[in-house]
Structure 1
Amino acid sequence: MTAHTDRAQQVELREDHAAQFLASRIVERIDGQNTTTRLDFGAAIAGLVSRSSDSAGESRGDDTAGQASTERLLVGIVGAPGAGKSTITAAVAELLSARGIDTAILPMDGFHLSNVQLGRLGLSQVKGAPQTFDAAGFVGLLRRIVQGHQDVYVPVFHREIEESYAADGVVSVAAQVVLIEGNYLLLDDWGFEPVRSLLSESWYLAPDEQVRIDRLVLRHVHHGRSPQDAIEWALGTDQRNAELIAASCDRADLIVHLT
């Protein structure tokens, strides 16, 4: 088990360099826990980091209870809506897979409550808030993934219909690295409290705020909202969620400032 540090390490990267840096971080960790030939990412990331504040620090008490074993890495990729989580996660997975590291992706969005359930609970107007996810189901599935005894089928959220398909994805038993991307992986409320202790490492993505909001508005328009509705949702419901997520960033092992 690896203890989380008291204070997050921070780096500043160009967004198009982030995946290379983050993939190299995983490779370094894998090389540190086995005897395979070291994969050299040094040349690829030289000069990319313009600001780094390392904090090897002390462990955070009991936070490591139930944490992922050294044989399988569970890496949490966290950020507000529009932070670029899905894009960077996919790029990291591609880099690792190209180097023979079996990698799976688990998006937390698959655990959105259905529109029917949101309507029943009176939560339709705050879809995306922590209480609109099946946190208990997500935690239970993470624990199965940590065990690594079998393929684990996972739900996948489809933005074109704003619903999830059950068992639409899979985390293969062969996966050495599982990249878990979502908004609330570092939250200490709403049933998400156990998540952080199940992760081997967590990264918080922090892009320029205006870039994030512009990207989010365009995404809402692309999926059918009017421009005005998209702006109101991004600056209303999404922004309240973004502020809650940002308040959890200090619990990450690494904060990545994207430029």
Structure 2
Amino acid sequence: MSLELGARQAAEAIAARAQGRARFVVAIAGPPGSGKSTLAEAIGARLGANACVVPMDGFHLDNALLDAQGWRPRKGAPHTFDLAGLRDLIVRLGNPRAPVYYPVFDRAADLSRAAAGCVMPEQKIVLLEGNYLLLDQPGWRDLKQMVDMSVFLRVDMVTLQQRLMARWEGFGLGPAQAEAKTAGNDLPNAQLVVTASQKADLELVDGILAR
């Protein structure tokens, strides 16, 4: 119920700011397990056909590249994404005169599929969602200035841990493996997002707009 309320509140704020704009790009950020993908979809549903959701997960580096660098255990950390590619996409999203294609991450295959998603010119509002869109680190911090509005979803760490554990178990891992994955990678990433993200235009706490 609270996420529904937060989605409605955020959608109203976004729609008001997007008035008169040919293209309006919103960054929706939050730690892994916070529900930002669900929030983005809920906001998009409320905004209607002129809005679309674009996940940044399509910019995961391929597993072969991660293995070559020894980065596979930290997949999902900032350095395991194609930041330059993401920046280029944001620039292209600002141009509503032509379709913009973007990569989509296939979780079942654990790889990104090139040009699997498309933003059409008539889709005025683009909801770009991902963990690190507001990260205050070199390169990443510039993204906030490239979008028109930002939203941050904040959830307490205990809830995040429970959700992340459940996610891994849903992928078929046993409790011990799920705990190792969560503690070794997901929680450090979540802590980074929580402690090192820039202030957003809107912040939702446990799914409700903070005043």
Q: Structure 1 residues 225, 190: CA separation in 2 closer, same or farther (over 3 Å shift)?
A: farther
Deviates most, 187-196 or 18-27: 187-196
Q: How does the TM-score come out when normalised to structure 1? A: 0.75
Of 131, 138, 158, 2:86 maps to: 138
For 1:254 and 1:27, locate their aligned partners in 2 and report how far apart those are by CA, in whole Å: 13
2:115 alignment partner AA = A
Shift of 1:207: 1.9
* Contact 2:24–2:148 (CA under 8 A) maintained in structure 1: yes
Aligned residue for 1:53? none
* Superposition RMSD in Å: 1.6
Aligned residue for 1:55? none
Mapping for residues 30-49 of structure 1, pairs under 5 Å: 30=18, 33-34=19-20
Of 128, 145, 149, 1:197 maps to: 145
For 2:141 and 2:152, locate their aligned partners in 1 and report how far apart those are by CA, in whole Å: 17
Of 169, 175, 191, 1:243 maps to: 191
Unaligned runs of 5+ in 1: 1-12, 35-69
Of 127, 151, 163, 2:111 maps to: 163
> Are 2:3 and 1:29 equivalent residues in the alignment?
no
Deviates most, 216-225 or 132-141: 216-225
Mapping for residues 182-193 of structure 1, pairs under 5 Å: 182-189=130-137, 191-193=139-141
> Are 2:42 and 1:87 equivalent residues in the alignment?
no
Aligned residue for 2:175? 227
For 1:228 and 1:158, locate their aligned partners in 2 and report how far apart those are by CA, in whole Å: 25
For 1:248 and 1:14, locate their aligned partners in 2 and report how far apart those are by CA, in whole Å: 25
Mapping for residues 38-187 of structure 1, pairs under 5 Å: 70-97=21-48, 102-187=50-135
Shift of 1:248: 3.0
2:8 alignment partner AA = Q
Give the SS at the match of 1:203: strand
Q: Give the length in aligned residue pairs.
A: 207
* Contact 2:136–2:198 (CA under 8 A) maintained in structure 1: no
Give the SS at the match of 1:251: coil
Please identify which structure carries the higher helix content.
2
For 1:250 and 1:194, locate their aligned partners in 2 and report how far apart those are by CA, in whole Å: 10
* Contact 1:131–1:190 (CA under 8 A) maintained in structure 2: no
Shift of 1:190: 5.2
* Contact 1:135–1:190 (CA under 8 A) maintained in structure 2: no
Give the SS at the match of 1:187: coil
Q: Which has the larger radius of gyration?
A: 1
For 1:194 and 1:78, locate their aligned partners in 2 and report how far apart those are by CA, in whole Å: 14
For 1:216 and 1:102, locate their aligned partners in 2 and report how far apart those are by CA, in whole Å: 32
Q: How does the TM-score come out when normalised to structure 2? A: 0.92
**CA-to-aligned-CA distance 1:117-144 (integer Å, 9 cap, x gap):** 1111110011000000000000011101
Shift of 1:112: 0.2
**CA-to-aligned-CA distance 1:24-68 (integer Å, 9 cap, x gap):** 1112223xx43xxxxxxxxxxxxxxxxxxxxxxxxxxxxxxxxxx
Shift of 1:213: 1.6
**CA-to-aligned-CA distance 1:134-167 (integer Å, 9 cap, x gap):** 0000001110111223111111112112211111
Unaligned runs of 5+ in 2: none
* Contact 2:135–2:198 (CA under 8 A) maintained in structure 1: no
Aligned residue for 2:160? 212
2:193 alignment partner AA = I
**CA-to-aligned-CA distance 1:94-114 (integer Å, 9 cap, x gap):** 1111xxx51111101110001
Shift of 1:14: 2.2
Shift of 1:250: 4.0
2:202 alignment partner AA = L
Percent of matched pairs sharing the same residue? 37
